[in-house]
């Protein structure tokens, strides 16, 4: 006997080679009836299965293929008709029709729009709810007790105070303007 | 007859096939959907055989084959003709089977379907089993072996199964399998090797 018996991997590779073309037969397999039988058993099982699969396809009657072909072509014709119609229909009409054909989409869009408007209204607090957020920040800014603030914050405070004082003394400045400009 | 169809021997495509198919594709793109019937007539058996080998259920294979052709028709405007139409169709078929397997877990396994088919449980004509006409013992053994192979194939990932089936059941070249799966030759070989190893483990007692 020449060499060792084939390993399990070698038996599988004899039947299911991952490379193309015929693989060389190991010398051992050529002379070892046991290894030949192992390879033959697996190959027979596979060929049996492959033959059965081919048998299924070849035994199908002509009517089966005709029916399958007709079914495909019917679907193709329907899709082609829809596509042709879509090409012939201008965009707004197509959009309106798609909305009308999908009531769930139409109601969903409406509900989403209402929810968005309601949400924005609540967030803004309504038109009469109070001063604008920007104004609130200015009035809430601490004027006194700025000891704990940084230098830049203190500078900002000073600037705000001087703006306030300019605005409050605006009436006296008006007195300086010529008559015609008042 | 299946073997009379063009492209059945991937290594030797029919002369002028690409040109003829290119002309038919042009007619389809120009708004002649009926011209698509040529492709259905030419390739339906081959697509069905590939899909059937993967799903092992004739009814499901029929539905998937129809889907493959409808998808192909929709994608004709995008088909650039870089690969053969058949290779492109195979790619659509492999993806369709993979997507179908992802969408739902089969209620009945591969192997059970093969066994039910052997018992005459298929709504389509019974397979022309190569063991027909032999002893009942041999028929039973054949059914068992097929069931085992079905179970073993079921254990592979959808991609590995597709690659394995195309190589060993469909006898496609590595390059063709690569084109149908979008993988390079080395990756295809690697998948084949791993698939064979998994099968080895599953078919331990058959050897």
* pLDDT above 90 as % of chain B: 45
Band (A71; pLDDT cuts 50, 70, 90): very high
Burial of B56 (C-beta count, 10 Å sphere; 0-12/13-18/19+): buried
Is residue A33 predicted with pLDDT exceeding 80?
A: yes
Decide if B110 contacts B161 (C-beta within 8 A): no
| Cα A47 from Cα A71, distance rounded (Å) | 33
Give the per-residue pLDDT at B28: 93
Number of Cβ pairs closer than 8 Å across A and B?
Answer: 133
Give the per-residue pLDDT at B160: 92
Is residue B104 predicted with pLDDT exceeding 70?
A: no
Within a 10 A sphere around the Cβ of B158, how many other Cβ atoms? 16
B145 → closest Cβ in A48, A54, A64? A48
| Cα B76 from Cα B92, distance rounded (Å) | 12
Mean pLDDT of B148-169: 89
Decide if B203 contacts B155 (C-beta within 8 A): no
Mean pLDDT of chain A: 75
3-state SS class at A125:
coil
Backbone φ/ψ region at A103: left (φ over 0), alpha (ψ -120 to 50), beta:
alpha
CA-wise closest residue to B199 among A36, A117, A55, A8: A8
Give the per-residue pLDDT at A159: 80
User: Which residues in chain A touch residue B190, judged by CB atoms under 8 angstroms apart?
Assistant: 18
Mean pLDDT of B186-197: 91
CA-wise closest residue to B56 among B182, B156, B191: B156
Give the per-residue pLDDT at B128: 40
Please tell me the distance in Å from B89's CA to the nearest CA on chain A: 14
Is residue B96 predicted with pLDDT exceeding 90?
A: yes
| Cα A174 from Cα A156, distance rounded (Å) | 27
B130 contact A CB<8A: yes
Give the per-residue pLDDT at A158: 81
User: Which residues in chain B touch residue A12, judged by CB atoms under 8 angstroms apart?
Assistant: 196-197, 199-200
Mean pLDDT of chain B: 79
Give the per-residue pLDDT at A98: 60
User: Which residues in chain B touch residue A76, judged by CB atoms under 8 angstroms apart?
Assistant: 33, 36, 69-70, 73
Is residue B78 predicted with pLDDT exceeding 80?
A: yes
Q: What is the dihedral of CA B154, B157, B158, B161, to 10 degrees?
A: -70
- Ranked by mean pLDDT, which of A92-101, B116-125, B129-138 comes out on top? A92-101
Q: Roughly how many angstroms between the first and final C-alpha of chain A, as a whole number?
A: 124
Is residue A43 predicted with pLDDT exceeding 90?
A: no
B145 contact A CB<8A: yes
Looking at per-residue pLDDT, the higher value among B105 and B124 belongs to: B105
Residue-wise pLDDT for A87-125, tens only, equals: 777 666 655 656 566 667 777 878 888 888 888 888 876
Q: Check the CA dihedral A89-A93-A95-A98 and report its sign.
A: negative
- Cβ separation B40–A53 shorter than 8 A: no
Is residue B55 predicted with pLDDT exceeding 50?
A: yes
3-state SS class at B34:
helix
Decide if A80 contacts B33 (C-beta within 8 A): yes
Is residue A22 predicted with pLDDT exceeding 60?
A: yes
- Cβ separation A16–B192 shorter than 8 A: yes
B129 contact A CB<8A: yes
Is residue A174 predicted with pLDDT exceeding 90?
A: no
Is residue B100 predicted with pLDDT exceeding 70?
A: yes
Mean pLDDT of A12-25: 78
Give the per-residue pLDDT at B110: 44
Decide if A65 contacts B144 (C-beta within 8 A): no
Q: Roughly how many angstroms between the first and final C-alpha of chain B, as a whole number?
A: 35
- Cβ separation A48–B48 shorter than 8 A: no
Residue from A16, A56, A85 whose CB has the most chain B CBs within 10 Å, to mutate? A56
Is residue B76 predicted with pLDDT exceeding 90?
A: yes
Please tell me the distance in Å from B73's CA to the nearest CA on chain A: 7
Closest residue on chain A to B173 (Cα) = A20
Band (B69; pLDDT cuts 50, 70, 90): very high
Give the per-residue pLDDT at A182: 55
Within a 10 A sphere around the Cβ of B111, how many other Cβ atoms? 18
Within a 10 A sphere around the Cβ of B46, how many other Cβ atoms? 21
Is residue B169 predicted with pLDDT exceeding 80?
A: yes
Burial of B197 (C-beta count, 10 Å sphere; 0-12/13-18/19+): middle
A-facing residues of B in 168-187 (CB < 8 A) are 168-169, 173-174
Instruction: List own/partner pairs for B17-24 with CB under 8 A and 24 or more apart.
Output: B17/B84, B18/B81, B18/B84, B21/B85, B22/B81
- Cβ separation B129–A55 shorter than 8 A: yes
Task: Name the residue with tokens 């192997």.
Answer: B111
A23 contact B CB<8A: no
Q: What is the dihedral of CA B122, B100, B92, B182, to 10 degrees?
A: -120
A-facing residues of B in 29-68 (CB < 8 A) are 31, 33-34, 36-37, 40-41, 44-45, 48-49, 52-53, 58, 62, 65-66
Backbone angles phi, psi at B156, to 5 degrees: -80, 155
Quote the DSSP letter at residue B4.
Answer: G
- Cβ separation B130–A55 shorter than 8 A: yes
Mean pLDDT of B115-140: 49
CA B169-B186-B171 angle, 5° bins: 15
């Amino acid at each position: 006997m020449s060499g060792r018996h084939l390993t399990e991997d070698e038996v599988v590779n004899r039947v299911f080679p991952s490379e193309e073309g015929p693989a060389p037969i190991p010398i051992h397999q050529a002379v070892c009836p046991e290894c030949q039988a192992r390879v033959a058993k697996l190959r027979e099982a596979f060929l049996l299965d492959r033959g059965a699969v081919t048998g299924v396809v070849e035994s199908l009657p002509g009517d089966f293929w005709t029916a399958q072909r007709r079914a495909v072509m019917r679907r193709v014709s329907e899709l082609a008709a829809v596509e042709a119609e879509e090409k012939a229909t201008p965009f707004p009409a197509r959009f309106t029709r798609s909305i009308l054909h999908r009531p769930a989409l139409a109601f969903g869009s409406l509900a989403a729009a209402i929810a968005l408007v309601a949400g924005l209204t609540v967030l803004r607090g309504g038109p009469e709810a109070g001063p604008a957020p920007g104004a609130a920040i200015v009035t809430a800014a601490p004027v006194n007790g700025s000891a704990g603030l940084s230098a830049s914050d203190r500078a900002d405070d000073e600037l705000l105070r001087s703006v306030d004082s300019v605005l409050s003394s605006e009436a006296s400045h008006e007195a300086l303007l010529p008559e015609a400009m008042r | 007859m299946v073997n009379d169809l063009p492209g059945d021997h991937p290594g030797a495509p029919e002369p002028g096939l690409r040109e003829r198919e290119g002309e038919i594709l042009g007619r389809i793109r120009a708004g002649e959907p009926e011209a698509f019937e040529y492709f259905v007539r030419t390739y339906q058996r081959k697509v069905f055989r590939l899909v059937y080998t993967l799903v092992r259920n004739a009814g499901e294979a029929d539905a998937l084959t129809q889907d493959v052709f409808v998808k192909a028709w929709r994608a004709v405007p995008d088909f650039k003709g870089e690969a053969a139409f058949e290779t492109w169709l195979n790619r659509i078929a492999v993806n369709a089977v993979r997507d179908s397997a992802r969408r739902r877990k089969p209620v009945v396994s591969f192997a059970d379907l093969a066994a039910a088919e052997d018992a005459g449980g298929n709504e389509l004509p019974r397979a022309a089993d190569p063991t027909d006409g032999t002893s009942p013992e041999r028929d039973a053994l054949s059914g068992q072996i097929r069931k085992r192979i079905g179970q073993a194939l079921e254990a592979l990932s959808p991609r590995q199964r597709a690659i394995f089936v195309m190589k060993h059941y469909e006898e496609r070249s590595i390059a063709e399998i690569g084109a149908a799966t979008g993988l390079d030759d080395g990756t295809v070989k690697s998948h084949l090797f791993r698939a064979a190893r998994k099968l080895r483990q599953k078919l331990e007692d058959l050897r």
